[in-house]
Chain A
């Protein structure tokens, strides 16, 4: 399959096969009007299969979301057809309104306007806990 290379934009590579669509939604790419390619199950030497997202415009990525949804991805920033930056996002210290607390005893279950905030409490295991009730975020 042939998809043109981009001049100004972002390539999110090495997405775990099957996670591409989830990232697409988390990053709200559906609301953008530029060219976007979501490639599923592309062959990969390292991973066997992988997903790739190409966005043909310079955009501010929410790295917190990227790091949380799939910390294994590689982000490539392209300007004027040249790769100017390449990095792996880290697990963010804090997630705000990305995931919801599922504890029925948590105050966020009854008061809708409260932001759902999770803190990274164990980087090794990628454990996040609600800052209000300290419940573990469900996978």
Chain B
């Protein structure tokens, strides 16, 4: 029985396989609409995230399956003090697969050690969010047709932004990828990741200025400066508007740049950018559902 806790749990071959399945679902949705008949997905969201939860639920429904679950810890027995282990053991008796979001880092890993059914990490604090990364990878593959030899700009909160960390891990496995990390000093990529990149010979540069590096980028991955990751409100207010993407800034960008964002956005991408053909963030949302469908099929071992 497999779970997905961290994107690096999946080999490059498995990611390719998931992307192939997702592309086939997009091309032939009718082939898949009964694949999970009589199967149940439980969405255990100890921390609210409407978009990710709905994406998982839509994915299971489009596979012909059913969904159960809760969308906040105060609606669950966690509010009474039940451990994650006990919750998944219990829910594992009702559901065939579990998607879990939890505010504490490592909670889905504990769950996977105890659960009788596969666990999908739907986000654990500021740590991992592998299905977002899968959605990002599917988007890059569909927009660029490849993962190798890309210059990937990562902009905004690179310290707490778990989607950025997972994406770096995932793309580091392909040849010729160059990362351009654009952030204020306070929100730089954590030191341990820099050390890891150096050790593995990954090509990267760090900069404070988005404008300076814009012309060289193939992909620009914007992130939100998240209020909930700060201990201190004053720091949040000071940094939240640091990096905002506007049409003006896009003028020097490549014509086939792919602008991505894990969403929700606050104001880091101007609404005017939405109509630019380079804006890919709503495609990412749609791709997220398809790659989750592919993942559910894989973990449930549905042929």
> Which residues does A use to contact B, with CB under 8 Å?
103, 105-111, 113-114, 122, 129-136
Contacts and interface: CB of A to CB of B under 8 A. Distances in A.
B106 A113 contact: no
Contacts, number: 46
Interface residues of B, number: 17
Nearest to A134: B127
Nearest to B83: A111
Does more than half of chain A's interface fall in helix, strand or loop, or is it mixed?
A: loop
Contacts of A133: 105-106, 125, 127
Nearest to B126: A105
A113 B105 contact: no
Nearest to B104: A107
B83 A113 contact: yes
A107 B126 contact: no
Contacts of B107: 107, 132
B125 A136 contact: no
Nearest to B106: A132
B127 A110 contact: no
B125 A105 contact: yes
A134 B109 CA distance: 11
Interface in B189-248: 192, 195
Contacts of B110: 107, 111, 114, 132
Contacts of B159: none
28 contacts: A103-B105, A105-B103, A105-B104, A105-B105, A105-B125, A105-B126, A105-B127, A106-B105, A107-B84, A107-B102, A107-B109, A107-B110, A107-B124, A108-B106, A110-B104, A111-B84, A111-B85, A114-B110, A129-B192, A130-B106, A132-B106, A132-B107, A132-B109, A132-B110, A133-B105, A133-B125, A133-B127, A136-B192
